[in-house]
Amino acid sequence: MELESLISAQTGGCQEDCAFCSQSIFYDAPAQRHAFLPLDQVMAAARATEASGASAFCIVVAVRGPDQRLMNQVLKAIESIHAETSLDVDCSLGLLTRPQAEALRDAGVHHYNHNLETSRSFFPTIVTTHTWEERVETCLLVKELGMELCSGGILGLGETWEQRLELAYELRELDPHEIPLNFLNPRPGTPLAGRRPIEAKEALRAIAIFRLVFPDKIIRYAGGRELVLRDAQALGLVGGINGMIVGNYLTTAGRPAAEDVKLAGDLGLPIVPSTRTAAETEAR
Ligand code: SF4
C-alpha cells in the first residue's frame, strides 16, 4: 500500500467548466478561494505528510494550465520540499506545454497527475472548455519526458457502465503508472449537485473491474471514498486498491491519515514507499 497526501496550493477561480468541480468560476459553489499558498504553509503540510507515514506529496492547483509566475512558485516549493524532507513530490497543474513539462521533470517531479476524468464519449457532457484529447496530449508528454503518469477518473458523473469500461480501456492505452479512482461527492452549486452518489456495491464492482484491467498498477483510492464506501472501504483494499490519498482532498475533508495506516495494518498490507524514476533520481 502506497500512501500519498496532497495540498490544494491554489484553490478556486478556475476558468474551466468541469461540471463536478466547485472550483470553477462558472458555478456559484461555496468553495474556498486562495492564491498560491505562502511557502511556509506548503512546507508545514509537507512535514505533516512525512510525519503521517506517507511517502509522496502532491502539489495541486486549480488552473487550466500554469503561467510562468505559478511555475516559479511551484518549482520553488519542489526545491524546498526536496531539501527538507525525504518525500517524493508529485504535481497536478493542469495542461502543460513541453517547456513546462521539461522544467518539472528537471526539478525531479515524481508523478504528474492528470486524470482523463471520464471516457472520451462522455467527456463533452461534463467539460466544454477543453477537450479530452488535450488531456491525453499532456498525459503523453509527461510519459515521453520520463515522469511517471498518474491518470484516472471520477465515477458517478452520470456515465454508463459501458462508459466506465471505455474509460478503463482508454487509460490502459495510456499505460499510466497509477490510476486514481475518485467517486463523485456532489458539490452544492455545481451542475451535478443533485446527483446521487453511486452505491458502495457499485463502487466495489468498479474497483474490481479496474484491477482486472490493470493487474500490475497502483490503483489509488482518491476523493469520495468516505462518502460512497463508508465502512466498506476495507473491501476496496481487498478487492484491488493498493494506494491511498490520505488526509484531506482538494475541497472536501478526508479522514485522519492514521485511520488509513491502521486499516492497511489490520489487513496485513505493508506500507511501502513509492518507487523513483530514473529522471527523478538524477535530479535529486
Ligand atoms: S477540475 Fe480542475 S480544471 Fe476543472 S474546473 Fe476544477 S480545477 Fe478547473
pLDDT at 29: 83
How far apart CA 95 and CA 132 sit, in angstroms, is 11
State which H helix or E strand residue 154 sits in: strand 153-155
pLDDT at 120: 98
The pLDDT profile of the chain, 284 residues, written as one tens digit per residue, is 888 888 999 999 999 999 999 999 999 987 778 999 999 999 999 998 888 888 889 999 999 999 999 999 999 999 999 999 999 999 999 999 999 999 999 999 989 999 999 999 999 999 999 999 999 999 999 999 999 999 999 999 999 999 999 999 999 999 999 999 999 999 999 999 999 999 999 999 999 999 999 999 999 999 999 999 998 999 999 999 999 888 766 666 667 778 888 888 888 888 877 665 555 556 66
CA of residue 94 to ligand 1 center, whole Å: 8
**Could you identify the atom of ligand 1 that is nearest to the CA of residue 22?**
6
CA of residue 159 to ligand 1 center, whole Å: 19
Q: What is the distance in angstroms between the CA of the first residue and the CA of the last residue of the chain?
A: 24
CB 218 within 8 A of CB 179: yes
Least Cα distance to 183 among 219, 211, 155, 151 occurs for 155
**Could you identify the atom of ligand 1 that is nearest to the CA of residue 62?**
7
Amino acid at position 19, single letter? A
> Which residue's C-alpha cell is 475541497?
251
How far apart CA 17 and CA 61 sit, in angstroms, is 15
14 lines ligand 1 (CB under 6 A): yes
Which residues share a beta bridge with 7? 59
How far apart CA 90 and CA 149 sit, in angstroms, is 10
CA of residue 178 to ligand 1 center, whole Å: 20
29 lines ligand 1 (CB under 6 A): no
How far apart CA 138 and CA 176 sit, in angstroms, is 12
24 lines ligand 1 (CB under 6 A): yes
> Which residue's C-alpha cell is 503523453?
140
CA of residue 16 to ligand 1 center, whole Å: 6
**Residue of 6, 15, 17, 21 best suited for mutating to test ligand 1, as the one with most atoms within 8 Å of CB:** 21
Least Cα distance to 229 among 207, 212, 213, 214 occurs for 207
**For ligand 1, atom 2, which residue shows the shortest CA distance?**
62
pLDDT at 277: 53
CA of residue 224 to ligand 1 center, whole Å: 16
How far apart CA 97 and CA 108 sit, in angstroms, is 17
